Amino acid sequence: MRGARSRLVSTVVSGTPRYRFAPSPTGFFHVGGARTALYNWILALANDGIFVLRIEDTDESRNEPQWTQGILDALAWIGIDSSDPHFEGPYFQSANAETHVAAAHKLLADGHAYYCDLTSEQIQERAKASGKPGYDGYSRDRGLTAQPGHSLRFRVPTGTTVVIDEVRGQVEFDNSTIEDFVLLRGNGSPVFNLANVVDDVSMSITNVVRAEEHLPNTPKQQMLWQALGHPVPSWAHVPVLVNEQRKKLSKRRDKVALEQYRDEGVVAPAMVNYLMTLGWAPTGDTEIVEFASIVADFKLSSVNHSSAFFDVKKLNAFNGEYLRKMTVEQFVVACEPWLAPDKAPWPADRFDQSVFLRIAPHVQTRVAVLSEVPAMIDFLFVADVVIDSAAFDKAFAADWARPLLRSIRDQFATVDWNHEALKNVVEVVGAASDVKLGKLQAPVRVATTGRSVGPPLFESLEVLGRDETLRRIDAALTRAG
């Protein structure tokens, strides 16, 4: 390593590690942000450190107080609990504007910054004339003073900046490719790189773990840390999440809001576990692991460098596994929000918890997300099932459907009302006409539940009861003509 490089690398401070998560409120909480937050939280827990939440709310045009609440709610949902002793904040970047400006003035006083009066048009013209893109340091030695319209720029030193990154290893930047960047705009307002670093410095952050898109900012930020007289933090840039086409997840193309998954009935432990498998794998032969073992196991150095596919199908499969790991009682509680009167598709007074408890074990084994639950059980609580016409026509297409359903109905009228006996009726009726049980279930199911899919049929009928089952079969037979 050349001398110039090693000079630019400082050592990391020791003591309590202080991680931070620094989202900009944007109106929704990106799943990638959730993963970054989790990395920081897990590292803080594992190293008995602190997780600082800093809301980077300086862009007033993109700022709404409820978005901050959305961030807190989303973090709480994935278990990042603001009452935990490892949690500190939230801090608001907008409250620190004076500190940012004061730091810029210190950089000026120490010779690390200078004022410039060029407009962006003038900068562009100069770049065009010289054939070199960007700002050329024109005002470095012009001794300009603070004035409206004068921006303050950082004097980028010559040499190389080496960023030591826990995920990516050593990343070198030739300083000649980095222009003297703006610290304070012509109107005096601080730019992102200044505010971000000054906040990290004043919050004694030791570890910056964030999205890869910030890697290009890092050499500038590292220079600022050093110019401000502080040892640089440990950096880690986490690869982006991509969709099936390997394109970066975008809110226009993809479902990226954590809230959407929560509202569809992904449960938090499944989401946490799934997010942690993106670009990292727990040791052992299963990816479904307890949070505590993730905390014990997780290492930034084992995070993959390449982008990670956010696979909604796999997330749902994880979720299904988590639902099946629950006790029935836990599952019933988890379902509650989806069965609330404002969400459920049946009149509130028809819902019967004891009926739901009987069908719940059969639903639990069949759903991937909780929002599927109401459609699986509504046949038990609506006065009249809404028949899916396409499913009905298909189930009654065969000649045997009506006569066999009629015989089933006749036997259902007197048989012992339990699922084994009901199944036996359908099996025996089917066998006599050489129709397989699987096929013969279709008209029975559509007649009684309105749909072609649902919880196991005979258990469902057992819960529905004889009278209602017969009434619905009669109605279906009339409809079938």
Query: Least distance from C-beta 134 to ligand GLU, angstroms?
Result: 22
- Check: CB of residue 473 under 8 Å from CB of residue 408: yes
> Is residue 22 close enough to count as binding ligand GLU by CB under 6 A?
yes
Does residue 23 interact with ligand GLU by CB under 6 A?
yes
Shortest distance, CB of residue 221 to ligand GLU, whole angstroms? 8
Catalytic residue status for 251: yes
> Considering the rule CB under 6 A, would residue 210 count as an interface residue with ligand GLU?
yes
Contact 31, 275 (CB under 8 A): yes
Nearest Cα neighbor of 393 from 442, 461, 455, 448 is 442
- Find the part of the chain contacting ligand GLU (CB under 6 A) among 16-24, 175-183, 321-329, 418-426: 16-24
In whole angstroms, the minimum distance from the beta carbon of 204 to ligand GLU comes to 15
Minimum separation from the CB atom of position 68 to ligand GLU (A):
13
Decide: is 199 part of the binding site for ligand GLU (CB under 6 A). no
Q: Decide: residue 388, CB within 10 A, 0-12 exposed, 13-18 middle, 19+ buried.
A: middle
24 versus 175: smaller Cβ distance to ligand GLU: 24
Piece of the chain touching ligand GLU by CB under 6 A; list 18-26, 179-187, 231-239, 453-461: 18-26
The residue (of 59 and 329) whose beta carbon lies closer to ligand GLU is 59
Asked whether position 24 contacts ligand GLU by CB under 6 A, the answer is yes
By the rule CB under 6 A, 68 interacts with ligand GLU: no
Phi/psi at 241 (5° precision): -95, 140
Should residue 56 be labelled a site residue for ligand GLU when binding is judged by CB under 6 A? Answer: yes
371 binds ligand GLU (CB under 6 A): no
Catalytic residue among 128, 132, 247, 251: 251
Give least dist CB 362 to ligand GLU, A. Answer: 44
The residue ranges that bind ligand GLU (CB under 6 A) are: 22-24, 56, 196, 210, 214
Residues belonging to the active site: 251
